[in-house]
Amino acid sequence: MTISSEPRHLDARYDVLVVGAGPAGMAAAIGAREMGASSVLLVDREPDPGGILLQCIHSGFGLHAFREEITGPEYAERFFEQVLDHEVDVLTDAFVMDVTTDRRVKLMSPSVGVTTVDAGAVVLAMGARERTRGAIHIPGDRPSGVMTAGLAQKMVNLEGYLPGRRAVILGSGDIGLIMARRLTLEGVEVVGVFELLAHPSGLGRNIVQCLEDFDIPLHLSTTVVGIHGRDRLERLTVAPVDDERQPLMDRAWDVDCDTLLLSIGLIPDAELARDLGMRMDPLTGGPMVSSTMETSLPGVFAAGNVVHVNDLADWVSQEARVAGEAAGALSTGRMRPLEDIRLLPGDNVGYVVPHTISSDHNQTVSFRVREPIYGDTQLRLGQVHRRKLKAAVPAEMITLKVGPHLLEGFTGDALRVDAVPFDADRDAKGGER
């Protein structure tokens, strides 16, 4: 392990300081510079920029950002080249300990020690963390061999070790599916993927390319109900669940394995935001944001998985660019757009980001459905906009472009976003209120 403890110089003040150099942070830093910020500091806690992209050595990145399919590290590298081209100051191996409401940032790093920096604007881009065993509390022993899929991904892809020899994956999130394939390729026996819900949590393409192509069984409506093994994991008890997601113990069975990977969802890693006392969205676990990704604290922006968990790094970068551009614009004294319309999750919508929109400019609205609709789906944005989709599943985030033309005649203060089966839509009344 290398520690860059070479002392280095930091300015006392930056126009924009970006926390996290993953797909969100790098895009935000670029956006900030392009909109005129004269000094931008990009801080990351790892030795190298790129965030989780570095361990995502599979392809599937860049289809939107670069119009070609590349791997995570390649995606990170391309963005980082742009970061350097844009003369962004980059500080790695550095951890942001605290941000105050007047944007004084306390950070630590072997190269600068413990110090504070003032920022004209701050962009929070810390990403997400994986839910752990504690979050779903599985009873039983606490042996080694139970870990999040992301940790296993790091062990295998970055460090060249295997997490075990015979693995079970709990949860059909994308990381778990990708790890099922990865482990199989590395010679680890993947016994199966178990998913509590009746539908997969990951993208359809990953179900096909990571499980079906490798004959890895996917057990829907089934979960792990017991962990056995004093020292190392030896065995799991799994059971189907009923409609209330309660395990049917009389139909439980045992699976021998030495490894259990948890792919049971991501949560915004938003502690800094919480500590700052900004308004949080209980539905996403991240901060509430405006159409320019500004939080409830003026001058503090947030973007990417720290706001809501995206399915593609490309979406993260797009969203973060908006945040970075707005932070850059703000730092040069340009005014904010007028944010006067709240967005509310309506029928069958789990959450909506951003939380407010403006009729001043074009913006992207992202949301997820709560229950899957396998057929024609009507999307409604209040009564100002309707769109038909072929299907809508929770695993795939839906985006809507909302511009001034749609909002021209709108005089209310809130719009509801609904996503319902097309037939039901005919009988339902409009969602405006």
Partner 1 sequence: MLDPEPAAVEGLITMSVPVVHDVIIIGGGVVGVTLARALSRFDLDVVLLERDAEVGFGVSKANSGIIHSGIHADPATVKGRLEWPGNVGWLRLRDDLGFGLAQVGELLVALAEGELATVEALHAQGRRKGVPGLEPYRQDQVRRAQPNLSREVIAGLWAPTAGVVNPYEAVLLIADNAARNGVQVVTSEPVVGIDPPVVDEPDAPIGVRTPTRSWHGRYVVNAAGLYADEVAAMAGVPTFTIHPRKGEEYLLDKRLSGLVTSIIFPCPTETSKGTLVTPTYDGTIMVGPTAEATDDKDDTTTTPEGAAQVFAAARRLVPGISPRDVIAEFAGVRAVAHTEDFIIGPTDRPGFVNAAGIQSPGLTAAPAIAELLLDVLSDEGLALHDKDDWQPRAEHPVRFAQLSTEEQAELARREPRYAQLVCRCELVTEAEILDAIDRGARTLDGLKFRTRIGMGRCQGGFCTWHCMQLLAERQRVDLPAVTKRGGGSWLICERDDADARPSVELGG
CA 21/CA 123 separation, integer angstroms: 11
Contact status, residue 184 vs residue 214, Cβ threshold 8 Å: yes
Contact status, residue 341 vs residue 413, Cβ threshold 8 Å: yes
Select the residue interacting with partner 1 from 36, 48, 59, 140 (CB under 8 A): 140
150 binding partner 1? (CB under 8 A):
yes
Name the residue type at position 403.
G
Shortest distance in whole angstroms from residue 356 CB to partner 1: 26
Find the radius of gyration of the CA atoms of the chain. 22
Select the residue interacting with partner 1 from 9, 12, 67, 139 (CB under 8 A): 139
CA 356/CA 353 separation, integer angstroms: 8
> Given the complex with partner 1, which of 267 and 428 has the nearer CB atom?
267
**How many residues interact with partner 1 (rule CB under 8 A)?**
57
> Given the complex with partner 1, which of 109 and 348 has the nearer CB atom?
109
> Given the complex with partner 1, which of 86 and 154 has the nearer CB atom?
154
Select the residue interacting with partner 1 from 39, 148, 157, 290 (CB under 8 A): 148
Q: Which part of the chain contacts partner 1 (CB under 8 A), choosing from 20-28, 126-134, 207-215, 395-403?
A: 126-134
Shortest distance in whole angstroms from residue 425 CB to partner 1: 34
Contact status, residue 157 vs residue 52, Cβ threshold 8 Å: no
102 binding partner 1? (CB under 8 A):
no
93 binding partner 1? (CB under 8 A):
yes
305 binding partner 1? (CB under 8 A):
no
Select the residue interacting with partner 1 from 110, 217, 277, 412 (CB under 8 A): 110
* Neighbouring-strand partners of residue 43: 19, 91
271 binding partner 1? (CB under 8 A):
yes
Distances in whole angstroms, Cα of residue 252 to Cα of each of 121, 135, 194, 369, 417: 54, 22, 13, 31, 40
CA 331/CA 323 separation, integer angstroms: 12
Measured in residues, the chain has a length of 433
280 binding partner 1? (CB under 8 A):
no
135 binding partner 1? (CB under 8 A):
yes
104 binding partner 1? (CB under 8 A):
no
CA 268/CA 271 separation, integer angstroms: 9
Shortest distance in whole angstroms from residue 251 CB to partner 1: 16
> Given the complex with partner 1, which of 268 and 382 has the nearer CB atom?
268
Residue 251 CB neighbours (<10 A): 11
204 binding partner 1? (CB under 8 A):
no
Select the residue interacting with partner 1 from 87, 101, 115, 204 (CB under 8 A): 115
13 binding partner 1? (CB under 8 A):
no
Q: Which part of the chain contacts partner 1 (CB under 8 A), choosing from 159-167, 292-300, 371-379, 386-394?
A: 159-167
Question: Which one, of 406, 317, 291, 249, lies nearest residue 82 by Cα?
Answer: 317
Three-state secondary structure of 62-75: CCCCCCCCEEHHHH
**Tokens (6 digits) for 25:** 């942070």
Helix/strand/coil for 54: helix
Contact status, residue 204 vs residue 390, Cβ threshold 8 Å: no
Residue 134 CB neighbours (<10 A): 7
Give residue 340's Cα distance to chain centre: 27
Shortest distance in whole angstroms from residue 254 CB to partner 1: 8
* Sheet with 377-381, side-by-side order of all strands: 356-357, 341-345, 414-421, 377-381, 385-389
Select the residue interacting with partner 1 from 67, 187, 243, 411 (CB under 8 A): 187
**Stretch 228-267: interaction string toward partner 1, x if CB under 8 A:** --xxx-x-------------------xxx-x---------
Q: Kindly list the residues in this chain that would bind partner 1 in the complex (CB under 8 A).
A: 1, 3, 5, 45, 93, 95, 97, 106, 108-116, 129-130, 132-135, 137, 139-145, 147-148, 150-151, 154-155, 159-166, 186-187, 225, 230-232, 234, 254-256, 258, 271
